[in-house]
Each structure stands twice: as structure tokens, then as C-alpha cells.
Structure 1
């Protein structure tokens, strides 16, 4: 014997099924909250300004002394001249480097070439910022410092070039006698335990606020002659400033700070 339901019951059952299906669909529909997260909470960093570094930065030069630097030659105290809130290359004492070693970082540094410079090409205020100073055998990875304001030279040797590897995207130099600024993001190379290369070094550089190196992949440490290559493994390294061995006018530096990444 069959049980029959009335038309009213049939319609009510249809409504209940529809409501159930709609409820399930509404629950399965993506919501804005599905892609929102609240942890981890980024730490608070107070931004810097023209006279102060960000609150989490290591100050490498505060305008007073070179306590954070040593001579590359013998690791004694750096002897470059400190005066009027800046320090100036002393060619008689050679290169200097940071006491502390670094891997990946954000670096800010300001440099000045005297306004009375009268030389040309690579002698026009030459120095170098070695983003990783790898010690005896090679100097490391050099970001060129040079007056390239109306000064013709090979393009991968002008200011903001990765020396002998790549030219800057644009020439953003100010005139001699005006302070120049580098803001750098450095990703150090990584090596396997057997010394072979796992990943190359990369660098992004803003020169006076203008992007001039955009995540450039380095072929190895700087080579004056020949192509660069990764010949030896290394870990964290100091950052070095070059005292160039020629007649170029000494360069001054100020307001140097670094944030480890």
C-alpha cells in the first residue's frame, strides 16, 4: 500500500530543500575574512630622517668617530680624518672596513666629491663601496663611487655601476660639491657545504632616490681584468670603503647606517 502526500506537503518539502541548499551554498561561498590574517604582527620601526637612522638600524658612522671601522691592512683602528660630522679618505692608511660582518642588509650611505675637482675619467674622485669584502685574493663586490657628472668613462665603471659588471640604469649624479646618496638592498651569495655556489649575490640600488640597479644578479666578486666568477665560498663579511691608489681627490662620507635583513 502506497502512502500519498498532499500537494501542500509536497510544496512545503520543496521549500525546505531549497532553503537547505541555499544555506549550504552561502556557507561555502568565499568571504573576505578567509584571506585575512592577524599574526605574526610586524615589529614597529620608527622611520629615520635626514639626521637620524631608523630605530632598528646599526649606526656605522654618527658624525663623531670611526669606532665601527678598522684598517683592512692590519685591523687596527681606522685612521681616516673625522671632521665636521663627516670623515674623509686618508690615502696613506689604505682601505677601511666595518668591524662587524653582515649577510643580507639594507644600507644607507652618503658621499661627497669636492667641488674643485679638475681631473677626468676614473681619476675624478674615485673610490668604491665593497658590499661584501671577501678578504685576500679578491676585494669583494664593488659598487663604484665616482664623479660621473659630465665625466665620460666606461659605463660599467661610472658611479652606481657594479664595477666591470653592469652600468647603472640611469645617471643620477648631482654636481661635485653636493652630497650623493646610495640606498642599497644586498642579498649575499649562498654556498653549499662543499663550497659550490647555491645562489648568486643580488643587489638593488637607489642613487639619490632614483632606481639604478634593479635586483641585479652578480657574476661574482669584482675583477679588474677578466670576467667575474665565484671562486671561493664565504659567509658573512665586512663592508669596505676604498682608498683608491691614484691622484683622485679624497672623498668624504657621512650618515652611514645598516639594517640586517
Structure 2
């Protein structure tokens, strides 16, 4: 009986280890086409294109969205923007003909921290705040290191990891954001953000990934993902 119990225990532990083993890395961009992606709320991707082996948009193209939904995952990507540009990677996106991608999903912010121009916020011209800088959970949580980003015109490496609602943003090898999606702390951050007035979606388990077209040029490359 003891031998049987021991064998069962070993099997349970082994099964648990295998169940927790991450999936294999899968490429989300083959360097030649936009296979695996489609335009959000549009019939075609307009100005999104492959140039020099990278996925890019000149702006005015609309967001590009993954065909597949993801729950727990780890995603890596390289990105580059010119001076004064703005973009992002939005996850947990629910396709809705009435709302933009950022109404349903958190955003890994991509922006020219130093040179992005002032903008009108309620009749007042303001500069971006720390919660709106590269690597941030956009307008919710600022990156812990504002110096981790490389200047506009240079390639940066981003990473997003989600496991059991624990979310991490990484920038150039450094973890810069760490939060629990749907937690009391997250709700408190939400209440202080612009999304508090926008009917932001309640927490949900799965969604698509969007590459944001904010009207500016943006480049992506080496995009890969594995499910956890």
C-alpha cells in the first residue's frame, strides 16, 4: 500500500510539473507577410506592410490584431519609432465594432518619452506623465525605471508576461511594471486614470493582441509568443 501511495504521489507531482510547463515559442511574424494578423474593424490592413524584414505602418492604418486569442502567455517583440511618435501593444483585446482596442485591453505603452509634443487635455496643454511613458501600463502604472528605454530611432526589446492575472512588462531586459490584473490595487489605479470615465472593460481571462496605430510611424520585429 505504501509503495502504491508513493507511486501515486510521484505521478501527481510529475503530472503537475508537466501541466505547468510553458508551451513552445511560436512566431507571430514571419518577416515576409502579415499572416496571423488582421485589421481591427476593417476589411484590410491599409498601410501596414512588411519593409526590410520588419512589420511597420506609416500611420493612418488602424490597429493590427492577432487572429488568435490568448490567456496566460509570454510575448517578446522588438519595436522602433521615429521622434515624436506614439504606439503600443494592447492585450486582452475583445473585438467590438463600437469601441477601440484600448477600451477592452491594457496597453504596453510605446512613445517618444523625451520629444512627444504637448497635447490638449481638457482645454489645457500638457506633457505626457510618467504613467504614459514607454513600458508603462498605459495611464495606470508608470515604469519603475524611466531610463530603461532607448531613444527614438533605435530598436527596443519589449516583453509582456501574464500568468494567473499576474502581469509583467519588461523593457530591454528589465522588469518595469508588475501588477495583478483585476486586483483592488488595479481597480484603484483604474479609478485615477482616464479609463474611469470611458467605460473600461471589466477584467476578463482571454483576448487578442493589438499593435496600435496611433497615427504615427511604428516598426515591429521578432514577435514571438508562448502560452503558459
Q: TM-score range by the shorter chain?
A: 0.7 to 0.9
Structure ID, larger Rg:
1
Is 1:169 aligned to residue 136 of structure 2? no
Q: Tell me if structure 2 keeps the 8 A contact 1:105–1:260.
A: yes
For residues 77 and 230 of structure 1, do their structure 2 counterparts lie closer, same or farther at Cα, with a shift above 3 Å needed?
Answer: closer
Q: Tell me if structure 1 keeps the 8 A contact 2:136–2:169.
A: no
Aligned to 1:243: 213
Per-residue deviation, 1:237: 1.3
Cα distance in structure 2, aligned partners of 1:139 and 1:224: 14
Per-residue deviation, 1:215: 3.9
Normalization by structure 2: what TM-score? 0.72
Per-residue deviation, 1:139: 4.0
Normalization by structure 1: what TM-score? 0.64
RMSD: 3.3
For residues 131 and 233 of structure 1, do their structure 2 counterparts lie closer, same or farther at Cα, with a shift above 3 Å needed?
Answer: closer
For residues 140 and 217 of structure 1, do their structure 2 counterparts lie closer, same or farther at Cα, with a shift above 3 Å needed?
Answer: closer
Aligned to 2:6: none
Cα distance in structure 1, aligned partners of 2:202 and 2:181: 17
Cα distance in structure 1, aligned partners of 2:163 and 2:199: 17
Aligned to 1:259: 226
- Which stretches of structure 1, 4 residues or longer, exceed 6 Å deviation after superposition? 220-223, 227-230
For residues 55 and 204 of structure 1, do their structure 2 counterparts lie closer, same or farther at Cα, with a shift above 3 Å needed?
Answer: closer
Aligned to 1:186: 162
For residues 78 and 70 of structure 1, do their structure 2 counterparts lie closer, same or farther at Cα, with a shift above 3 Å needed?
Answer: farther
Cα distance in structure 2, aligned partners of 1:231 and 1:82: 32
Structure 2 counterparts to residues 73-112 of structure 1, below 5 A: 73-74=41-42, 76=44, 80-112=48-80
Per-residue deviation, 1:169: 0.7
Aligned to 1:21: none
Paired positions, count? 195
Aligned to 2:172: 208
Structure 2 gap segments, 5+ residues each:
1-9, 117-126
For residues 164 and 206 of structure 1, do their structure 2 counterparts lie closer, same or farther at Cα, with a shift above 3 Å needed?
Answer: same
Q: Tell me if structure 1 keeps the 8 A contact 2:104–2:201.
A: no
Per-residue deviation, 1:251: 1.0
For residues 205 and 235 of structure 1, do their structure 2 counterparts lie closer, same or farther at Cα, with a shift above 3 Å needed?
Answer: closer
Structure 1 gap segments, 5+ residues each:
1-34, 46-53, 118-123, 189-200
